[in-house]
A and B are shown apart, each in its own frame.
Chain A
């Protein structure tokens, strides 16, 4: 029944790991050939792989794990998907109904444990209800603000026979999020935008979630209004990075021009982003003079962190289309003020060249490795995932995306161990595409076992480890806030990544001299099968620009030279 419902819903791939409580489902999977099962090596890997699959295809990722430890291992991935609004369906096995609550073998209160980190969850108590619940779960995961949904399946429910009644409507009885923006609000938004002397479009993951059409509309809106565009970490790719109107990423490690333009703008249009603290810095000093328009599918995102002047609730794609139509109706292009002074100011900010760094002849600078990676692979239109740390921020700064659904990163939860399995998921979804995982020496070890998954399923991911022998981002904060006391941030006893790759049956490459960088990158791309590159980079380089946690968003440190003696009271989490 379960497999049949999934097949009807168009599921072609499941990421899973078997165990006692899901053996009946595994037996059904064995007997069919419509759904491909990708055996992972750890359930967390399954959830991140499903996220990678979802993020690149736009379809929900499906996960199947057993009860107890299978389910608890999936919790990190569910939380990650919750914070980054990724649609997932996680089927968990559960002990038989009669045993629930008895501390039975491998019993965990999965629905209870996952409640705060799922959009919705079901414990199925009647077999006859299975098809309806599965249909409904997909609808809930995908509609409104997307998110993970857990379906907990007691073992006896899996084997019990019941008549399969195909649900005709896949909706949820009462959950109907608003998608269309209110006309009156759209009118006001365009009146403001049309009169703006210093407009800016600030867009996030919501535009990606709204589908490629939404990114196209964003492009059209930017072109019509001539407004500069900045993206959040999650929103990269929604606007072409190579376009003149793009200011780069904003926020803590964003560009000088993006953060200054956000501060000085007079009308800010926020689409599918949430004024996260890594974007705003000190709330009181965030963009003080602007009229803020906030477009979001989730009412609870509005006025949560920053007070906005004009909220518009609905789907980013739909509302961007409404805005475009209204811009034309109000003859915006003919009636807007001259934006030349604004663009001149932006050019002056750009002239700071905030991403510049001191290159060296004998050691590979991390920024350089990514510049070269970008130059040598961009024509292949790859999917790029990252782990979490300095390399993630450098990747966001230096790897440009011209299209949506190419960039996979853990933004909200900042999960080390996300990047590699996510890349595997993306590669499974699109076997012929180049998929690169930009990793750190510490993060990659969190789900390194998935190399085995990659080999088994021909997921020919290229892992580019920026090996600085440190938990670089932690070390950077220790430089900035703890007088350089590197407490436990050295990556001691690192494995030999080349040998490790070989042990799994992959290719391992090492590069430590700048002269060999290009060749190594080319070789990585050309070599068939999964490849691990151990790129030994400068060890103590820090990632700039940066504003400190809680600082004003224009108090930006551009290089290590500017770092002043620090104050121990500035303590925040990495």
Chain B
């Protein structure tokens, strides 16, 4: 199909049977058909029924996004597909661990900003911190940006996990 239309970012939530190969099928779909993955998280959420939840942030035209959902739905081990972005309000969170090394003024400033962002210190040495920050991707991006001048060493991020707001679930 023609590639007209604006690029949208969508958060898609999947419930899958937690069996070998299901993640490979999901990822293989994206690489095989040339779709984007901005982030992907996965973990078992119900050990009794052996279901996992995969949260994917992807981008594309509306038509591509619809294709992605239909293709995901076709995977035999995928039992539910929800597009949180269009199905109503939802909450989305990332966790980041951010290591910053520095001394003196910079160290104090890093700590002050961490406080402003409500980042927790989960490791510290005399010349470094590891901060843990939870929030929307944008907030984490902003914090990382600020840390660049203050001795940013490295970052590990989970990618988004997301749920719809309100009483009902998938």
Contacts and interface: CB of A to CB of B under 8 A. Distances in A.
- Identify the interface centre among A145, A175, A307: most chain B CB within 10 Å of its CB: A175
Interface in A440-482: none
A123 B79 contact: no
- Identify the interface centre among A173, A174, A175, A304: most chain B CB within 10 Å of its CB: A174
B34 to A, nearest CB: 13
A298 interface: yes
Interface in B67-81: 67, 70-71, 73-74, 76-79
Nearest to B31: A116
A538 interface: no
A116 B28 contact: yes
B78 to A, nearest CB: 8
Interface string A163-204: 000000000111100000000000000000000000000000
A14 interface: no
Contacts of A111: 21
A299 interface: yes
Contact residues on A (Cβ < 8 Å of other chain), bracket? 20 to 34
Interface string A303-326: 111110000000000000000000
Contact of B21 (A121, A145, A298): A121
B2 interface: yes
B63 interface: yes
A298 B76 CA distance: 12
Contacts of B63: 303, 307
A112 B1 contact: no
B71 A123 contact: no
Contacts of A283: 1-2
B25 interface: yes
Contacts of A120: 76-77
Contact of B1 (A125, A140, A175, A307): A307
A116 B32 contact: yes
Interface string B12-46: 00000100110011001000100000000000000
Given A115-B25, A174-B17, A304-B67, A299 B73 contact: yes
A174 B21 CA distance: 16
B70 A305 contact: no
Nearest to B78: A174
B66 interface: yes
A307 B66 CA distance: 12
A441 to B, nearest CB: 34
Contacts of B21: 111, 115, 121, 123
Given A283-B2, A306-B1, A115 B24 contact: yes
A302 B71 CA distance: 11
A465 to B, nearest CB: 36
B32 to A, nearest CB: 5
Interface string B49-84: 000000000000001001100110110111100000
Contacts of A115: 21, 24-25, 28
Given A299-B73, A300-B74, A307-B1, A173 B66 contact: no
Contacts of B70: 298-300, 302, 304
A121 B25 CA distance: 10
A42 interface: no
Given A116-B32, A120-B76, A298-B74, A303 B66 contact: yes
Contacts of B25: 115
Contacts of A526: none
Nearest to A139: B76
- Identify the interface centre among A123, A145, A173: most chain B CB within 10 Å of its CB: A173
A211 B71 CA distance: 25
B68 to A, nearest CB: 9
A145 B73 CA distance: 12
Contacts of B28: 115-116
A172 B74 contact: no
A567 interface: no
A299 B70 CA distance: 6
Nearest to A275: B1
A376 B71 CA distance: 46
Nearest to A112: B24
- Identify the interface centre among B24, B70, B71, B76: most chain A CB within 10 Å of its CB: B76
A496 interface: no
A574 to B, nearest CB: 23
Nearest to B16: A174
A303 B1 contact: yes
Contacts of B73: 299-300
Given A120-B76, A174-B79, A284-B2, A303 B67 contact: yes
A109 to B, nearest CB: 10
10 contacts: A115-B25, A125-B20, A145-B74, A174-B76, A299-B74, A300-B67, A303-B1, A304-B70, A306-B1, A307-B1
Given A174-B77, A300-B74, A304-B1, 19 more contacts: A112-B24, A115-B21, A115-B25, A121-B21, A123-B20, A125-B20, A145-B74, A173-B17, A174-B17, A174-B78, A175-B76, A298-B70, A298-B74, A303-B1, A303-B63, A303-B66, A305-B1, A306-B1, A307-B1
Interface of B: 1-2, 17, 20-21, 24-25, 28, 32, 63, 66-67, 70-71, 73-74, 76-79
